[in-house]
Chain A
């Protein structure tokens, strides 16, 4: 299974935000609420990652931990690919 780099996931996240008329912040410590990145957006991003790697992510494997910042999103999806 191929995996996406953190930068590639970041690009996909920017696309999800753009589709909602929002912008990807430069600062990865920005809180998701501030940029309006909601659970539906997170879910869409996860499926975009799945489509890119042509494989299903194992959402059940790790506990879904608290995801509060842009950095959390990128970290989580990066780790999920290798779980």
Chain B
């Protein structure tokens, strides 16, 4: 890591709602040596990164809404000061906090840790997504978060990820370390309008979850297609062939990549051939600097050199893995995939894949629902593709039932289908599928 953003990538452009300049033009934040930043928006977050890039700080970045009172107390008990940047004309409601003048960019409020300990310089904490209970903290460094090597073609990246998420750090470290890698950050309230902003700023590369891409193509496919994208990246959720094919067709000149990464395992798999999953030939392969991948009892197991500090050498990922026609597919989570219908097992991921194959389905989620006699039955939430003009019959439950009956065993055919008019998306840019 260069000692500061005044290094060779310092001139890379950073664009947020309120800032358009370079890394070296960003004002630093007066951070205590060990800090958890409650970011209001991307500008707070990148200012904290710029400050901590000297390698002397220990830092956690998270959106303010994620840092609940409980979590703040927990972090303080772990020796981190909680830092809020004060809103103009008001103050952050953080309780017993001390004002610290920020001579370079406005005041911050620092709530001191309740446990004293020596900071670990250069440590970067990530909060896991917390989809299964309380978020956990995973320790990295800017080095372990920087996973792109070699010379990169000049690009302007779109970063829609939540502040401090693993994927957010991936884009940030790319911009911080590689000359020619500019970044446009979009806030959650810009998710409806980002294509216009991306066109204006000159975005040529974009990274997002499959749900992010589905939602963008659902809302305004023409605006997305107008972007001169050279790189399209997907990750963070199961990726099916349908979304990969659609993006490949939409951007024939672009490299479409699927990245498997997590806070714990780090970036472990990168596939660029436009096909779902990864080649089965990669299983068991030992290569310097690359993750070793295995399937154990139907679960993806990873030994990753980019894992977080203290993470087991061999990590059970919780992701279901199945080998189909020479590819390893990761259709969903082990714990939530199986629906027991009267003793017969239905795979939520398989049912979802069948629904997504329907030409008039834009998005689907499949769950088991408690039912008498059979224990559970398969249910689905579906967002139909928007149809042009009047005269097109709406998609019906009967249409989907017939489609699934032809492709699934009887017990796996969804018995209740709820139609939604929007693709649900969480702050993490994921859906619960």
Contacts and interface: CB of A to CB of B under 8 A. Distances in A.
Interface residues of B, number: 17
A1 interface: no
Most chain B C-beta atoms within 10 Å of own C-beta, residue among A39, A43, A48, A64: A43
B214 interface: no
A47 B397 CA distance: 15
Contact of A40 (B374, B398, B401): B374
A43 B401 contact: no
Contact of B342 (A40, A47, A48, A57): A40
Nearest to B405: A20
Given A40-B342, A47-B415, A59-B371, 14 more contacts: A19-B397, A40-B377, A40-B410, A40-B415, A42-B372, A43-B371, A43-B374, A44-B371, A44-B377, A44-B416, A47-B371, A47-B377, A64-B372, A64-B373
Contacts of B415: 40, 43-44, 47
Nearest to B397: A19
Contacts of A19: 397-398, 401
A42 B373 contact: yes
Interface in A2-58: 19, 39-40, 42-44, 46-48, 51, 57
Tell me the dominant secondary structure on chain A's binding face: helix
Given A19-B398, A19-B401, A39 B416 contact: no
B165 to A, nearest CB: 35
Contact of A39 (B374, B397, B398, B401): B374
A43 B372 contact: yes
Most chain A C-beta atoms within 10 Å of own C-beta, residue among B341, B370, B398: B370
B398 A51 contact: no
Tell me the dominant secondary structure on chain B's binding face: mixed
21 contacts: A19-B397, A19-B398, A39-B373, A40-B341, A40-B342, A40-B374, A40-B377, A40-B410, A40-B415, A43-B371, A43-B372, A43-B373, A43-B374, A44-B415, A44-B416, A46-B371, A47-B371, A47-B377, A57-B372, A59-B371, A64-B373
Interface residues of A, number: 13
B155 interface: no
Interface in B73-115: none
B369 interface: yes
A39 B411 CA distance: 10
B372 A59 contact: yes
Nearest to B416: A47
Which are the 7 A-B pairs with shortest beta-carbon distances? A43-B371, A44-B415, A59-B372, A39-B373, A43-B374, A43-B377, A46-B372
A48 B401 CA distance: 15
Nearest to B398: A19
A57 B401 CA distance: 25
B96 to A, nearest CB: 44
B420 to A, nearest CB: 15
A48 B417 CA distance: 11
Nearest to A16: B415
A80 B53 CA distance: 64
Contacts of A51: 416
Nearest to A60: B372
